[in-house]
């Protein structure tokens, strides 16, 4: 049987159920309404919904079929008039049968239909800050630890899968033998690799080169969709509902520590997603799936966390090691993005997860990460209480990470780089001053030479003038003598 596409709406008195079933056998269509249960059967379609409030058939209940659109429309009545049914757009919740009983095993419980778990009221908001030790079974000398397998995937519930799919996962995981590597060792191994992969030159280039800083500043100032259109983050689109329908439904048995670990890993994944959105300015690229995979140690190292600070340190370390842009202020902007998404609630988180799911499906073999983590997160987040998510957002807002927490000696690197930069500026200034002095001296020398040449020319001109003047006098004297001689000759006659 096929699960048809459907849409739900409500007013104070009724719930409208629109079912798209173009190949339905109209003659064999059956509808059943009782308490919180609605069932629709029309071969080859079957749909069973469990509403958060009670419904019933009355004289006002109606149903019709639009042959042009191939869809049924049913109007059923609410038993409690004026009651608001929450989360009708989160269809995975409606597909899950209600099951509110507690399991006898201490600390384990079945998630309720609404997600409002009884232990939510007793949760201490400060739990997110407390470093918790993961309990490991002590080796008494009689246990062969080489044959022990360790969990991974959503809430670390999967074991033994990766050993038989080692070739496929080798392209998406940095850990080589997850089945025989405990969570504590995964943390140590990823930390060591990050220390080896951190590139001081790349970090300083993004910090000091003006062209790089100009690009990074634009990324920091970018306004993502969760800021520009916050109202859209509270609505699930038709295409997103189609994905949710395909994901199906399932039931999760999680203890309090497992729920905490699952939410912390969720933050780790959301951080990687927000980094990609900010650095691509909302236009995901063919590298986006790789970026999200690489920046999340949950997805890359199958790592689990015990505190929010540990999560952020891991994300920030990896974002300074692997992607194109590696800058501290950019990290801080991404952290604020995660806080905003969490504060907007489960629908905003779900939209991010569905986007990741689509990207991973189109990036072979990262679809395997969907099977390990993302599908479960898409279903489970719809069941988590709003209070728990808000507590997580508030706690994240209180966490402060310093550069020294990353253990990359960033402050020392920056100080040394600034000293070198100042020395280079001083040398450049000295060279510039020296050049100016040389130019000034050269100009003065040229001016002196020009003055001397001018003086020589003036002297030559004066000499020539004196010579000409002397010659004129001689000519005048000669002429006068000739005149006197002529007079003497006349007198003689």
Residues 340 and 222 in one domain: yes
Domain-terminating residue out of 393, 408, 423? 408
Residues 174 and 72 in one domain: no
Count how many domains the chain has.
Answer: 2
**pLDDT on residue 213:** 94
* Gap between the Cα atoms of 180 and 361, Å rounded: 28
Residues 225 and 354 in one domain: yes
Residue 24 sits in a domain whose CATH number is 2.60.40.790
| Residue 198 covered by a domain | yes
User: How distant, in Å, are the alpha carbons of 46, 60, 88, 99 from that of 56?
Assistant: 20, 10, 17, 21
| Residue 471 covered by a domain | no
Nearest in space to 74 (alpha carbons), one of 28, 32, 12: 32
Each residue's pLDDT expressed in tens, for the chain with a length of 493 residues: 678 888 899 999 999 999 999 888 888 899 999 899 999 999 888 899 999 999 998 877 889 999 889 999 999 999 998 999 988 888 888 886 555 433 333 333 444 443 333 344 445 544 554 444 444 434 444 433 444 568 899 999 888 888 777 777 888 999 988 989 999 999 999 999 999 999 999 999 999 999 999 999 999 999 999 999 888 888 888 888 888 888 878 888 888 889 999 999 999 999 999 999 999 999 999 999 999 999 999 999 999 999 999 999 999 999 999 999 999 999 999 999 999 999 999 999 999 999 999 999 999 889 999 999 999 999 999 999 999 999 999 999 999 999 999 999 999 999 998 898 777 777 777 776 677 777 766 666 666 666 555 555 555 555 555 554 555 555 555 555 555 455 544 444 4
**pLDDT on residue 195:** 97
* Gap between the Cα atoms of 350 and 384, Å rounded: 11
Show the domain range for 32.
5-85
* Gap between the Cα atoms of 134 and 148, Å rounded: 17
Residues 70 and 155 in one domain: no
Which region, left, alpha or beta, applies to residue 107 given φ > 0 means left and ψ of -120 to 50 means alpha? left
Residues 73 and 175 in one domain: no
**pLDDT on residue 119:** 43
Residues 234 and 305 in one domain: yes
Residues 78 and 153 in one domain: no
* Gap between the Cα atoms of 206 and 213, Å rounded: 6
| Residue 400 covered by a domain | yes
DSSP 47: E
Strand order, beta sheet including 37-42: 30-34, 37-42, 45-50
| Residue 438 covered by a domain | no
* Gap between the Cα atoms of 289 and 296, Å rounded: 11
Contact 318, 194 (CB under 8 A): yes
pTM score, whole prediction: 0.75
SS3 of 396-465: the string is: HHHCCCCHHHHCCCHHHHHHHHHHHHHHHHHHHHHHHHHHHHHHHHHHHHHHHHHHHHHHHHHHHHHHHH
Please report where in the chains the tokens 């074991």 appear, as a residue.
159
Counts for the chain of helices (H) and strands (E), in that order = 17, 10
**pLDDT on residue 453:** 57
**Nearest 5°: CA angle at 193, between 260 and 324?**
90
- Gyration radius from the chain CA atoms: 42
Residues 171 and 75 in one domain: no
Domain-terminating residue out of 44, 66, 85? 85
| Residue 231 covered by a domain | yes
Residues 154 and 79 in one domain: no
Verify cis geometry, omega within 30 degrees of 0, for the bond prior to 456.
no
Residues 80 and 159 in one domain: no
Q: Identify the bridge partners of residue 253 per DSSP, sorted by sequence position.
A: 110
| Residue 106 covered by a domain | no
């Amino acid at each position: 049987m096929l699960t048809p596409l459907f849409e739900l709406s409500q007013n104070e008195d009724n719930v409208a159920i629109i079912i798209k079933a173009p190949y339905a056998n109209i003659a064999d269509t059956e509808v059943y309404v009782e308490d919180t249960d609605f069932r629709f059967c029309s071969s080859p379609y079957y749909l069973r919904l469990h509403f958060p409030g009670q419904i019933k058939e009355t004289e006002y209940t109606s149903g019709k079929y639009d042959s042009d659109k191939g869809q049924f429309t049913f109007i059923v009545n609410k038993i409690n008039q004026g009651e608001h049914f929450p989360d009708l757009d989160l269809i995975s919740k409606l597909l899950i049968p209600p099951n509110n009983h507690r399991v006898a095993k201490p600390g384990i419980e079945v998630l309720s239909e609404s997600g409002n778990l009884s232990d939510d009221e007793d949760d201490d908001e400060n739990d997110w800050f407390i470093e918790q030790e993961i309990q490991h079974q002590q080796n008494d000398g009689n246990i062969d630890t080489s044959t022990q397998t360790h969990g991974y995937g959503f809430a670390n519930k999967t074991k033994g899968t990766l050993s038989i799919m080692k070739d496929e996962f080798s392209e998406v995981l940095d850990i080589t033998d997850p089945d025989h590597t405990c969570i504590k060792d995964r943390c140590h191994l990823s930390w060591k690799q990050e220390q080896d992969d951190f590139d001081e030159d790349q970090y300083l280039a993004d910090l000091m080169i003006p062209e790089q800083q100009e690009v990074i500043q634009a990324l920091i100032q970018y306004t993502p969709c969760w800021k520009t259109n916050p109202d859209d983050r509270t609505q699930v689109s038709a295409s997103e509902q189609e994905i949710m329908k395909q994901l199906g439904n399932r039931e999760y048995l999680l203890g309090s520590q497992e729920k905490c670990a699952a939410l912390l890993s969720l933050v780790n994944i959301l951080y990687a997603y927000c980094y990609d959105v900010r650095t691509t300015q909302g236009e995901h690229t063919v590298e986006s799936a790789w970026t999200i995979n690489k920046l999340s140690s949950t997805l890359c190292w199958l790592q689990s966390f015990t505190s929010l600070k540990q999560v952020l340190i891991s994300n920030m370390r990896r974002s300074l090691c692997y992607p194109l842009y590696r800058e501290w202020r950019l990290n801080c902007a991404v952290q604020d993005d995660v806080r905003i998404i969490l504060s907007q609630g489960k629908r905003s988180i779900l939209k991010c997860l569905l986007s990741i799911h689509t990207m991973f499906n189109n990036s072979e073999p990262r679809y395997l990460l969907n099977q390990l983590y993302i599908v479960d997160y898409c279903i489970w987040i719809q069941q988590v209480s709003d209070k728990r998510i808000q507590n997580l957002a508030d706690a994240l807002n209180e966490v402060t990470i310093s550069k020294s927490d990353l253990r990359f000696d960033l402050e020392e690197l920056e100080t040394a780089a600034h000293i070198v930069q100042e020395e280079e500026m001083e040398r450049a200034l000295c060279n510039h001053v020296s050049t100016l002095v040389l130019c000034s001296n050269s100009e003065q020398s040229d001016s002196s030479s020009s003055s001397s040449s001018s003086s020589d020319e003036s002297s030559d001109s004066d000499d020539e003038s004196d010579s000409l003047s002397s010659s004129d006098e001689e000519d005048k004297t000669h002429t006068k003598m000739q005149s006197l001689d002529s007079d003497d000759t006349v007198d003689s006659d």
